[in-house]
Chain A
């Protein structure tokens, strides 16, 4: 089946198997390996990307379902050399260790802040419940997201650029 979509602002057109998951499309067809896979039960959120600006676990979506839409992955988040405020906050506050959950976590946080520009700590924790991290104990991730909110991170990503 034909899909045509924008990934990180770039037009992509491919002939794909109907059963191909979006995460495999991104990793294996587009070569964007920043998006990771951490489970087979849609539990971990390592595969989270933005589709039309909203976070989606890309292992729960078929590539063909992304037809005509705008997908943003971790590779497309920074503005050239300038980190997105969420990326900047993760670095500043040590919100990552092994980095495996990080692309998904950052995308989930970006989406969370778009919806709730000024979340409470509890709202951040609720909002990230579907994204697992084994390294950080979430402490610095939560801190980073709150700091990013403070810095005004809720700027539209993807479609707007």
Chain B
């Protein structure tokens, strides 16, 4: 019986549970010095001078260096070339916390102390926190660019003029999808050392070691082959560790320059300002349709805050556009987007990256439309779904969905909820005027995974002792690839999990790789691994067939991992040692698999909340998730991914927001001030699994890493709005913190009073 599809506990866990992982900060390099960065104390300013003299004389200090001293090339820019980011601030600082200089000392404490002595002479410039003001261009971050606009998506495909023709109703809403801090529990770090052969090794927190190797090499003016990047265990990323960070480039440069190993780990307070942020969109959504619930047109305008330097954040609206119509068949669509720079932390990918923003817009819009025509939100959704028989289905914005069953997901959700009973309970509390009102929020979502095209490497080797090695170009940082990929090899070659080694994250050990992000790993790297295992099997069968004087087609892998034999005749088994010897001493196959296209997981989520109308406090009572990510390889891993995603969705809807004051000073710059979601704010989750295979790969697998967040966020927001709808509250932006809920209720009461 195949191991695939089974609930298999992870092979990586015993080590993590008994000694803890080996993260970058756990590495001990002989003779290492410690780097600490001097950071901008304000949001925007002209650098007049940097006085490093006193710091250079401080105890233990090895070097104090500025951008000028290091002369490093800029980071890749996702916008106009003048907006490229230098690894250390040059000429200007553009966000609070931006690194300006680096201090290297014998101990970390000495480096921290000496950094206090560096005098940065800054002429303050006006801060620019509000992206709508950035559009006006009165304050420019990059005067040489002549604009704050760093990216645009041209309006289309339909014209504005005729968009809502034929609609009985059109509903409009401005929606703020607030800025978030990704908060992986491990912050950023790096360590670098030059080996005896003169070659540089860089250990770093990342999701994308090969990309880092190329980016760091470019900044240092080296050939990529002159650099080895190693990602040891990495404590979560959620998209924020895709980027190569300036400090990591500087650490690499320091090791070469000083001829000594260098270590660096940031503090959480530094991380809150320097690890990229997520979301940060202002949306203008308009939805039109008929009174009987048919949506005819959608308009979505996005203003993306990219932060101080255009990185992946500037590109997020493109992903929002791809998924703008969600699970619905919308005949006419107009989308446009503008990305701007502001004096804030650069925005990058964060769990969902542009797709939660799309889901939030369309799912809020569906509820607003339903409210406007007085129809149940479940019914409105049902009337507009892309029907199951229409796949592959191309949306009006040109995205082709591979497979799906949206009505099926909603039906299962409503059954699990006992929806009519919940609505009855809600009506009862409304009639009673209960202090604790009930809200039921639905969200039917679809998202895109594996959206970045390209081939991924999977390699499988069987050694003569009957053990196997899997090498992957993806990079697991919590997802459990060591287990998942080993399961694929075990299934094809019969070698048990405990005899399969997993290697990743070392650019010398694994020649190529695209890393792990965008829920791509199983459908690209996993398929490469399974194809490599099949190629190994094919070769092994041929070699075993010669020895057994049989037909290769009749040869199978022994399910105890001993080798190969004729089907049904395990008594004569050719051992892996013999097969490897016959293969010339090395039995290994590499496959680069390029998926033919992205895949589109979908589902239906519901949140049931209780809102205390006296205090504004919201409690999530139930969180029910129906998710379909195609065929599941290991339901245990899929469950974990969904749970984490649900929590981050609830967190955005209810709690989390990264806030700046008008001067660009961060107000949530540590974990005491940033309300990262804890166990007490969440319920246990209820899950229902659907498996509609994708035709795009032989595993039938879609991505599952981000769906939880994409579906749950609007479900919770809709639930809070739903709880207050009868009290005159039409829409609430996230996070729906008690103050905001309470104020909305007060405003609604005042409004009702005036109207009466």
The chain A residues found within 8 Å of chain B, CB to CB, are: 27, 31, 33-41, 43-44, 46, 74-75, 77-78, 83, 87, 90-92, 94, 96-103, 106, 121, 124-126, 128-143
Q: Is the CB of B21 within 8 A of A99?
A: yes
Main secondary structure of the interface of A (DSSP, over half): loop
Assuming A142-B679, A142-B684, is B640 touching A87 (CB within 8 A)?
Answer: no
Question: 5 closest Cβ contacts across the A-B interface?
Answer: A34-B20, A100-B235, A137-B647, A98-B478, A99-B16
Q: B636 to A98, Cβ gap below 8 A? A: no
Is the C-beta of B209 less than 8 angstroms from some C-beta in chain A?
no
Scan residues 200-240 of chain B and give those whose CB is less than 8 A from a CB of chain A: 233-236, 238
- Alpha-carbon separation in the docked complex, A33 to B16 (Å): 11
Q: Mark B106-119, 1 if CB is under 8 A from A, else 0.
A: 00000000000000
- List A contacts of B278 (CB < 8 A): none
Is B186 in contact with A36, judged by CB distance below 8 angstroms?
A: yes
Chain B residues with Cβ below 8 Å from A44 are 185, 268, 671
Instruction: Verify A136–B18 contact, CB threshold 8 A.
Output: no
B653 → chain A, closest Cβ, in Å?
14
Asked whether, in the complex, the Cβ of A134 is within 8 Å of the Cβ of B267, the reply is: no
User: Given that A98-B184, A100-B23 are known contacts, is A91 also in contact with B18, CB under 8 Å in the complex?
Assistant: no
Could you give 7 example pairs across A and B, Cβ below 8 Å? A83-B14, A87-B18, A98-B184, A106-B17, A131-B678, A134-B183, A138-B643
Cβ proximity bits B670-692 to A, threshold 8 Å, 1 near / 0 not: 11100010111010110000000
Please give 15 more A-B residue pairs, beta carbons under 8 A apart, in addition to A35-B20, A91-B14: A33-B26, A43-B671, A44-B185, A87-B17, A98-B185, A99-B20, A100-B184, A121-B684, A128-B679, A135-B644, A136-B644, A138-B643, A140-B639, A142-B684, A143-B684
* Chain A residues whose CB sits within 8 angstroms of the CB of B480 once the complex forms: 97
Q: A34-B20, A97-B644, A142-B684 given as contacts; is B268 within 8 A of A39 (CB)?
A: yes
Q: Residue of B at shortest CB range from A138?
A: B679
| Interface contact B10-A91, CB-CB below 8 Å | yes
Pick from A40, A96, A138: contact of B16, CB below 8 A. Answer: A96
A98 and B235 contact, CB distance less than 8 A: yes
Q: A99-B233, A99-B235 are in contact. Are A141 and B17 (CB under 8 A)?
A: no
Q: Which residues from chain B contact A121 at a C-beta distance below 8 Å?
A: 684
B479: Cβ under 8 A from any A Cβ: yes
Q: How far is A99 from B12 in the complex, measured between Cα atoms in Å?
A: 9
Q: In chain B between 604 and 662, which residues have their CB closer than 8 angstroms to a CB of chain A?
A: 636-637, 639-640, 643-648
Chain A, residue nearest B708 (CB): A137
Q: Which of B25, B640, B678 contacts A136 (CB 8 A)?
A: B640
Q: In the complex, what residues of B have CB within 8 A of residue A101's CB?
A: 185
Partner of B670, one of A43, A46, A128, A134: A43
Closest approach, in angstroms, between the C-beta of B243 and any C-beta of chain A?
18
Give the residues in chain B near A74, CB-CB below 8 Å.
17-20
Q: Is A132 within 8 A of B640, CB to CB?
A: no
Beta-carbon contact of A100 and B672 below 8 Å: no
What mask results when residues 682 to 718 of chain B are scored 1 for a CB within 8 Å of chain A, else 0?
1011000000000000000000000010000000000
In the bound complex, CA of A25 to CA of B94 (Å): 37
State the total of A-B contacts with C-beta under 8 angstroms: 175
Rounded to whole angstroms, the CA-CA distance of A124 and B683 in the bound complex is 12
Indicate if the CB atoms of B10 and A139 lie closer than 8 Å: no
User: Is B20's CB under 8 angstroms from A137's CB?
Assistant: no
Q: Does B187 contact A (CB under 8 A)?
A: yes
Shortest CB distance A149–B (Å): 15
A137-B185 in contact (CB<8A): no
Q: Is the CB of A134 within 8 A of B236?
A: yes
A39 / chain B contacts, CB cutoff of 8 Å: 268, 670-671
Residues in chain A near residue B477, CB distance under 8 A = 98
> For residue A142, which residues in chain B have a CB less than 8 angstroms away from its CB?
679, 684
Neighbouring A residues of B17 by C-beta, 8 Å: 74, 78, 83, 87, 90-91, 96, 99, 102, 106
Which residue of chain B has the shortest Cβ distance to A139 in the bound complex? B643
Is there contact, CB below 8 Å, between A132 and B23?
no
Residues of the A chain whose Cβ atoms lie less than 8 Å from the Cβ of B671: 38-39, 41, 43-44, 132
B198 at the interface (CB under 8 A from A): no
Q: When chains A and B are docked, how far (Å) is the Cα of A123 from the Cα of B647? A: 19
Asked if B292 lies at the interface with its beta carbon under 8 angstroms from chain A, I say no
Q: Counting CB contacts under 8 A, is B9 at the interface? A: yes
Kindly provide the distance from the CB of A123 to the nearest chain B CB, expressed in whole angstroms: 11
Determine how close the nearest CB of chain A comes to the CB of B708; give it in whole angstroms: 8
Give the distance in Å from the alpha carbon of A38 to the alpha carbon of B671 in the complex. 9
User: A75 and B644: CB pair below 8 A?
Assistant: no
Known: A36-B23, A39-B268, A137-B647. A91 touches B670 (CB 8 A): no
CA distance A81 to B12 in the complex (A): 16
CB closest chain-A residue, reference B8: A94
Interface centre among A37, A46, A100, A126, by most B CB within 10 Å? A100
Task: With both chains docked as a complex, state the minimum distance between the C-beta of B675 and any C-beta of chain A, in angstroms.
Answer: 10
Q: Are A137 and B10 in contact (CB under 8 A)?
A: no
Contact A75 B680 (CB under 8 A): no
Q: How far is the CA of A34 from the CA of B19 in the complex (A)?
A: 5
Given contact pairs A34-B20, A74-B17, A90-B17, A140 touches B26 in the complex (Cβ within 8 A): no
CB nearest neighbor in A for B640: A94
Interfacial chain A residues near B644, Cβ < 8 Å? 97, 134-137
